[in-house]
Chains A and B, each alone.
Chain A
Amino acid sequence: NAGVMQNPRHLVRRRGQEARLRCSPVKGHSHVYWYRQLPEEGLKFMVYLQKENIIDESGMPKERFSAEFPKEGPSILRIQQVVRGDSAAYFCASSPYGTGDDTQYFGPGTRLTVL
């Protein structure tokens, strides 16, 4: 079984550009989570989605950030008009639902650098 896949692994953007981060969950997993890790810090929750529905976005910045998990295709984290403070590692995790397995399985992350 393939694990959580994220692409790109590294992304460089200039200030003001848009960043799109993709996450393909473990096959059969219906729930996706996004976390951000700033340098020398732990992971901070951003958003929790299931197919076509945002469950909890309490950790998302109010502006410039959005996330989706469409019926078909990967989950997308979109950052508009990036600033230097957005430079971080963004991790996606997935979990099954209704199986009794409450583990979140993490992808390798996308490292975003804003110049």
Chain B
Amino acid sequence: AQSVTQLGSHVSVSEGALVLLRCNYSSSVPPYLFWYVQYPNQGLQLLLKYTSAATLVKGINGFEAEFKKSETSFHLTKPSAHMSDAAEYFCAVSEKGNEKLTFGTGTRLTIIP
């Protein structure tokens, strides 16, 4: 069975500050890991994904995430927050491609001007 834990349901950062959204996973097999972003009343957009290649994954909009097997973590970072980054962020895991995704409960990111 797989699970995802996102620490911090709400995170606030100042514009221009570092964004760090935490994700820890549990999986009995090497995982595929994903970060999705959801803007209000919209669907989910893929930010980035890890599929057993490079452990540091770069995504869209300046986001990146690092897969750390020893810590079972896949934290999302962005060096400098922008107002347009305000949204809900979901971490997800699957056991292999084209299988069901197990999502975390999400982290709502607020950017302070």
- Residues of chain A touching chain B, judged by Cβ–Cβ distance below 8 Å, are 4, 31, 33, 35, 41-45, 48, 56, 58-59, 91, 93, 95, 97, 101-109, 111
Contacts and interface: CB of A to CB of B under 8 A. Distances in A.
Contacts of A43: 44, 90, 92, 101, 103
Nearest to B97: A102
Contact of B106 (A42, A93, A107): A42
19 contacts: A31-B98, A33-B100, A42-B90, A43-B44, A43-B101, A43-B103, A44-B103, A58-B100, A59-B100, A91-B43, A91-B44, A97-B98, A102-B49, A102-B96, A102-B98, A103-B46, A105-B46, A106-B44, A109-B42
A17 to B, nearest CB: 23
A43 B101 CA distance: 9
Contact of B32 (A59, A97, A102, A111): A102
Interface of B: 32, 34, 36, 41-46, 49, 51, 90, 92, 94, 96-106
Contacts of A104: 46, 101
A42 B32 CA distance: 18
A8 to B, nearest CB: 14
Nearest to A47: B100
Given A41-B105, A43-B103, A44-B103, A108 B97 contact: no
Interface centre among B45, B51, B97 (most CB of A within 10 A): B97
A41 B101 CA distance: 15
Q: 9 tightest CB-CB pairs across the interface, nearest first? A: A102-B97, A42-B103, A106-B44, A45-B100, A106-B43, A108-B43, A42-B105, A43-B103, A42-B106
Nearest to A98: B98
Contacts of B44: 43, 91, 93, 106
Given A42-B103, A43-B44, A91-B43, A106 B36 contact: yes
B7 to A, nearest CB: 14
Contacts of B46: 103-105
Contacts of A111: 41
B100 A48 contact: yes
